[in-house]
Amino acid sequence: MDREVFRNKKVFVMPGQRLTFAQALGNTCDIPLSQLPTPYIKGGMVVVRVDEAYYLTGLEDCKTHLHNQVILSKGDKPLTQLDLTKKLQLVWKALRPLKAIPLGKGFYEFEFASLEYMRWALGMGSLQLSPSFMRLFAWIKDFVPATMKSTKTRDWVRIYHLPLEYWRPTTIFSITRGLGNPLFLDDHTTRKNRVFFARVLVDIDMLSPSS
């Protein structure tokens, strides 16, 4: 007699048995409905609450991610996900494995193996991937490509003639906070190998009054 065995969410089907629609989809939800928040009506709309703990776990999962936008000139053929991955593996040989997740509208999300790799890639800034151009920027929560209208740029900022008593990360970040959101220091600044100037990567909003 035909039978099914469920093990670690995988479905094993005996010969001659056809998969059900739910089995064919795979990764079916095995969470009891009693553990899920109950939707309710508010202002004529259905409201669904997301558990805070799961949301925070999701944010933690994305801490090694970056967002980027692939910009094409008029007439250029769009890059496929495979083409983009191959091009980046040539530039970021040391950062493998790298996962590129297409988001639509020319945007991708990159998942790196570690925070160190993510920061190294972010520090490289924008890349020319002939015939396309790729702009990297820090990961943004609640990112929706369809409504994304970026006015930000990311630049390395130099601070000259900074006395050594100010050469602490928090102090340098506080100074560059007047320009935008400081991301991290370069290695020479961190190690104080070069004290002619401090160098900080800053995310700058071009529409901000301070920029």
Q: Is the pLDDT score of 209 beyond 80?
A: no
Residue in this structure with the two tokens 């980027």, named with its chain if needed = 68
pTM for this prediction: 0.60
Per-residue pLDDT, 1: 35
Instruction: Supply the CATH number for residue 140's domain.
Output: 3.30.70.330
Q: Residue 92: which domain range?
A: 62-147
153 or 4, which is more confident? 153
Residues 138-142 have a mean pLDDT of: 89
Note whether residue 109 is domain-resident. Answer: yes
Instruction: Examine residue 44 and state whether it is found in any structural domain, yes or no.
Output: no
Same domain, 96 and 141: yes
**Domain end marker among 98, 119, 147:** 147
140: Cβ contacts below 8 Å, ≥ 6 apart? 67
Q: Is the pLDDT of residue 24 over 60?
A: no
Give every CB contact of residue 50 below 8 A, 6+ residues apart in sequence: 37
Strand ranges across the sheet with 65-71? 99-104, 107-111, 65-71, 132-138, 127-129
Residue 181 belongs to some domain of the structure: yes
Residue 195: the pLDDT is 84
**31 within domain boundaries:** no
Q: Do 77 and 138 reside in the same domain of the chain?
A: yes
Q: Is the domain of 107 the same as that of 140?
A: yes
Do 133 and 68 fall into the same domain?
Answer: yes
The reported pLDDT for the residue numbered 124 is 77
Tell me: do 159 and 140 sit in the same domain. no
Tens-place pLDDT, residues 33-78: 888 888 999 999 999 988 899 999 999 999 999 998 888 767 778 8
**Residues 126 and 70 reside in one and the same domain:** yes
Indicate the residue among 147, 166, 192 that finishes a domain: 147
**Confidence at residue 11, expressed as pLDDT on a 0 to 100 scale:** 45
> Is the domain of 130 the same as that of 87?
yes
Chosen domain end from 147, 181, 196: 147
Rg of the chain on CA atoms, in Å: 23
Q: What is the pLDDT of residues 153-197, one digit of tens each?
A: 777 899 999 999 999 999 999 999 999 888 888 889 999 988 899
Beta strands in the chain (DSSP E): 4-7, 10-13, 40-42, 45-47, 65-71, 99-104, 107-111, 127-129, 132-138, 152-160, 181-185, 197-205
What would the mean pLDDT of 115-122 be, rounded to a whole number? 88
Say if residue 141 is in the same domain as residue 69: yes
- The verdict on residue 129 lying in a domain is yes
Which of 12-21, 54-63, 115-124 is modeled with the greatest confidence?
A: 54-63
In a domain, 175, yes or no: yes
Query: What integer is the mean pLDDT of 77-93?
Result: 84
| Other CB atoms within 10 Å distance of the CB of residue 114 | 10
- Say how many domains are in the chain: 2
